[in-house]
Structure 1
Amino acid sequence: MNKNISNEPQPTLPLTSAHDGFFQAITDDIFCFTDKIVNVYFIGDPKKSSEWFLVDCGISRSSDHILSILTEKFGDAYPPKMIVLTHGHFDHVGAAYELAKHWSVNLFCHELELPYLSGEKDYAKPDPSVEGGMIAKLSGAFPYKSIDLTPFVKVLPSDGTIDGFTEWQWVHTPGHSPGQIALYRESDRALLSADAIITVKQDSLYDVLTQSEHLQGPPRYFTTDWEEAKQSAERLKHLNPNFIAPGHGLPMFGTEFKDSLEVLIKDFDRVSIPDYGKYTNDKKLLK
């Protein structure tokens, strides 16, 4: 297997959006930062102490981008207690090694995602033949090889907890990747959905560039198990979240979010599952 060296950046792709560099305070302790086409989250208050954590690490060579916005918004910020990786696709772990090394902190993931983050196993190749827009057609060029984040990468506790952050729980949401997780907080019903549910049609170049809001299932070209993807979306709806902070697209709140989520789950086969593609299951199996 062609194993990537742990400190070797993956290829940089010419991907961006209208919200590159956008920073938003969702609550007083959840902050969203858009790195090109993907979101990273600061959970906690970096100005007060190290009792905060980073969720995901953007695309390759984005560590300076993330560190600069941290300084701009929080001043002389404390380093986080940890980094939580929702999954290991290239656009979520691009700066993981550099940031873990910079802060001397561990990266945590689901145990089923560990082989892809320790150089042991490659992801399935993205599917450029899948139904979708221009980005889907270009996805054959996207990185899919395993990366090696040892010695920083560790497995999350199996009971759904996050060490040191008792309000938060992780929820297994496979389909887009075997060990993808979402994060949920019961006190305000905050949901960080990773790529299980997103708010932009990620296969459409126009929608990605403009960040047009549409509640969607996971990106089509990288999703290999649509039955699990549908079950994961249903699992998240059952949490009855108040708002969504997705891996791609802007956060969504209130009645718009609630109504859109109802429609998404009801019409998941039609809205999210492609009519054709290498990894498309028979929709009859999902009804």
Structure 2
Amino acid sequence: MELKQVSQHIYKLTVETTVGIPIIINTWYILEDGNVYIIDTGMASYSNTQIKVALLLGAPQAIFLTHGHSDHINGAKHLSESLNIPIYAHEKELPYINGTLPYPNKHEIDETGVANKVQPLNLSLDIPFSYYLTPGHAPGHVIYYHNQDDVLICGDLFISDSNALHPPINKFTYDMMQNINSGIVVDTIKPKLITTSHGDDIVYSEEIYPIYKFKYEVK
């Protein structure tokens, strides 16, 4: 487990765990004027650590989800209730979080623990970052961009190492080509740094997305 400051206003918690397979899960804390905004919550098994980190860094204000898969939302119930803060996700993701529908690539409905407790993202929110809809891995998958620090928090839009972008696990992605095409947003934003849920941070360059698309798109 490692807490790392990735930019002036952003900290990243990295946890090695097992979700069917050994995996690292990154979650983030965005700081602004003493307030803390939590991006994804990881698993409930280490939610107490998430709470301690959030309180150490400032006053927690809200949880923002990239999407509703278990390794991103599993700790949300405990964090939200313990810290008395709201949870937000894109409106296109709410039917799956609320248990109204199973994800398109699944037969069973996920039990998120926060059904009907997640509010839709909206442009009127007073937050120090913006969001972009990037469907493909999940219908309501979003990424978050911190303009001042020039950091793009990508969730499962990519898996990354320090040199290259890779697609998310196919088994958990309902439309891989849509996901790959959604990735072009990095060339629209051109952030200084890209950080993902399951991988290392990578410095942006104009070559990384074209190489990724050429390597992984299905012709």
The answer, yes or no, to whether TM exceeds 0.5 is yes
Match of 1:154 in 2: 119
CA distance in 2 between counterparts of 1:88 and 1:192 reads: 16
When the two chains are superposed, the root-mean-square deviation of aligned CA atoms in Å is 2.4
SS in 2 for 1:44: strand
Distance in 2 (CA, whole Å) between partners of 1:213 and 1:65 is 30
- Stretches of 4+ aligned residues off by more than 3 angstroms: 68-71
Which structure has more RCO (C-alpha within 8 Å, separation ≥ 6)?
1
Give 1:268's match in structure 2, choosing from 210, 213, 217.
Answer: 213
Instruction: Decide whether aligned partners of structure 1 residues 156 and 182 sit closer, same or farther in structure 2, where only a CA change above 3 A counts.
Output: same
TM-score with structure 2 setting the length: 0.85
**CA drift at 1:266:** 3.5
1:217–1:268 CA contact under 8 A, matched in 2:
no
Q: 1:92-123, CA deviations, whole angstroms, 9 ceiling, x for partnerless residues? A: 01100110000111100000100111121222
Q: Within 5 A, what are the aligned runs for 1:1-287? A: 21-36=1-16, 37-44=24-31, 49=34, 51-70=35-54, 74=56, 78-125=58-105, 145-157=110-122, 159=123, 163-165=125-127, 167-200=128-161, 214-253=164-203, 257-258=204-205, 262-270=207-215, 272-273=216-217, 283-284=218-219
Distance 2:158 2:79 in 1: 26
Q: Secondary structure at the match of 1:179?
A: coil
Structure 1 length-normalised TM: 0.66
| 1:236/1:144 CA distance change after superposition, 3 Å | farther
Gaps of 5+ in 2: 17-23
For 2:178 and 2:143, the matched residues in 1 are separated by: 14
- Flag the 1:197–1:144 CA change in 2: closer, same or farther, 3 A: farther
Instruction: Structure 1: give runs of 5+ residues left out of the alignment.
Output: 1-20, 127-142, 201-211, 274-282
What do residues 259-286 of structure 1 show as CA deviations (whole Å, max 9, x unaligned)? xx6244244252x35xxxxxxxxx23xx
> If each structure's strand is expressed as a fraction of its own residues, which one has the higher value?
2
Distance apart, 1:222 and its partner CA: 1.1
CA–CA distance in structure 1, aligned partners of residues 113 and 51 of structure 2: 22
Residues 149, 116 of structure 1: CA spacing in aligned structure 2 closer, same or farther, 3 A cutoff? same
Task: Work out whether residues 119 and 148 of structure 1, in 8 Å CA contact, stay in contact via their aligned partners in 2.
Answer: no
Q: Which has the larger radius of gyration?
A: 1
